[in-house]
Amino acid sequence: MTEHQGLLSGGWDRVASNKRYIVWFYLLNLALAWLGTAAFKNQAHDFLDHSLLSGRLLHGFDIGVMVEMFLQPEFGQTHASSASGLHFALLFFVATALFLPGVLQGYASTYRLPREDFFRACGRNLWRFIRLMIVAGIVMGAVAGALFGIQSFLEKKAAESTNELLGFEVRVLSLVVIFLVMTALRIWFDLAETDIVLSDQRAVRRSIGTGFRHMWRNLGRLLGSYVVTTIVAAILLGAGLWIWMRFVPPASVVGAFLVSQLMLILLLIPRFWQRGVAVRYYLENMVEPVAVQPYTPAPVAVPVVNDPAPAPLLPDTPPETQGA
């Protein structure tokens, strides 16, 4: 790997050499969502399995029949099943926060990170991440609130115009600006997270400061990388939905499941790619060089047994252990 490799390709290399993380996160995502939809599944089976009318939902997408189903008291309360789905989606978010330090550690490693090191990184950084997420939540919430407030104001102003399209144009333009600003904030806190994990930084505020400085100094380069990966995600989502609608027969449940799951696993990649970019950037620009004393072997008459050295944060050679 060259030192000045591009951020995108450098980030991608890290994703490519650690594909197992995506697979594990996908399985976690699927398992949690599966549990989250159990209530809905039971409701649907109870209501539909003996009705001939349900055939109109199977062999097409009849919106009227779908709406009627949700309107029926016999179908049951949908807010219970939707709340359950939302709770499991939140659980996936928590799990991501929990396991992310291990992923960052793995991306920084030049070898397959041992399982115990993966979980050690997770455990060591848990409290730091919680603190960081609280700060990130406050900052991002405040900025998002302000930006959406401005957007609402601009839209109101646009509605005073006789140009009907102006409101839409203002909305699109403001959403683009909001997206860019929020992405910049995301970069900031991604760098802070990377710094916390890879520098073993206990003082979260220092990582936040370091993250902000680097985000600000290299905004164009970092933002470009993040925007490209987001566009990739949007293309994947669009293409996945198009293939689903265009090629999967309405009655093919297995086909729909496979295509939708393929789309969802692919959708995980861009975000991991962004993490790879952050790690690549960290290694390139943020890691502080460690002063290493030149090794001068002393003449030894009698062999001695040295104490084992502490495990380096960025080991150069892989130990012989099973990877996570």
Residue 221 CB, shortest distance to another protein, in Å, is: 21
Contacts with another protein in 141-160 (CB under 8 A)?
160
Scanning residues 103 to 142, which ones bind another protein (CB under 8 A)? 129, 133, 136-137, 140
Q: Which is nearer to another protein, 97 or 287 (CB)?
A: 97
The tokens for 319 are 């130990």
**81, 201, 210, 225: which one contacts another protein (CB under 8 A)?**
81
Count Cβ atoms within 10 A of the Cβ of residue 243 and give its class: 0-12 exposed, 13-18 middle, 19 or more buried.
middle
Contact status, residue 219 vs residue 262, Cβ threshold 8 Å: no
Q: Which two tokens stand for residue 108?
A: 């920084």
Among 19, 27, 72, 126, binds another protein (CB under 8 A): 72
Contact 191, 278 (CB under 8 A): yes
Interactions with another protein, residue window 216-275 (CB under 8 A): 245, 250-251, 253, 256-257, 260, 264, 267-268, 271
Q: What residue has token string 């900025």?
A: 143
| CA distance readout (Å), 238 to 55, 235, 241, 242, 290 | 28, 5, 5, 6, 46
Q: How far is the CB of 320 from another protein (least distance, A)?
A: 33
Alpha helix locations (H) across 204-309? 204-217, 219-247, 253-281
**Taking contact as CB under 8 A, which single stretch among the options 13-21, 24-32, 293-301, 315-323 is the one that binds another protein?**
24-32
Which segment (86-94, 149-157, 212-220, 291-299) binds another protein by CB under 8 A? 86-94
- DSSP assignment string, 192-212: HHHHHHHTT---HHHHHHHHH
Binding another protein (rule: CB under 8 A), the pick from 6, 20, 61, 115 is: 61
Rounded distance, CA 239 to CA 244, Å? 8
Tokens matching residue 106: 């793995």
Q: Is 53 one of the binding residues for another protein (CB under 8 A)?
A: yes
Question: Interface with another protein includes 44 (CB under 8 A)?
Answer: yes
Q: Which stretch binds another protein (CB under 8 A): 7-15, 94-102, 194-202, 314-322?
A: 94-102
With CB under 8 A as the contact rule, the residue among 55, 123, 209, 319 that binds another protein is: 55
Q: Contacting another protein (CB under 8 A), which of 13, 48, 111, 119? A: 48
* Owner of token pair 């659980």: 91
Q: Which amino acid is at 276?
A: G
Beta carbon of residue 94, minimum distance to another protein (angstroms, whole number): 9
The answer to whether residue 29 forms part of the interface with another protein (CB under 8 A) is: yes
Q: Token match 């985000």: residue? A: 215
Query: By the 8 A CB rule, do 200 and 290 touch?
Result: no
Contact with another protein (CB under 8 A) among 2, 3, 4, 52: 52
Please say which residue, 41 or 157, places its beta carbon nearer to another protein.
Answer: 41
The single-letter code of the amino acid at 20 is: R
Which CB atom, from 91 or from 111, has the smaller least distance to another protein?
91
Interaction of residue 178 with another protein, rule CB under 8 A: no
Q: In degrees rounded to 5, what are phi and psi of residue 74? A: -65, -25
90 near another protein, rule: CB under 8 A: yes
Q: Does 37 bind another protein (CB under 8 A)?
A: yes
Q: How far is the CB of 301 from another protein (least distance, A)?
A: 56
32 binds another protein (CB under 8 A): yes
Please list, in sequence order, all residues whose beta carbon lies within 8 angstroms of the beta carbon of residue 8, skipping any fewer than 6 positions away.
225, 228, 229, 273, 277
| Residue type present at position 186 | R
From the list 48-56, 206-214, 215-223, 304-312, the region that binds another protein by CB under 8 A is 48-56
**Which residues, listed in sequence order, are joined to residue 114 by a DSSP beta bridge?**
323
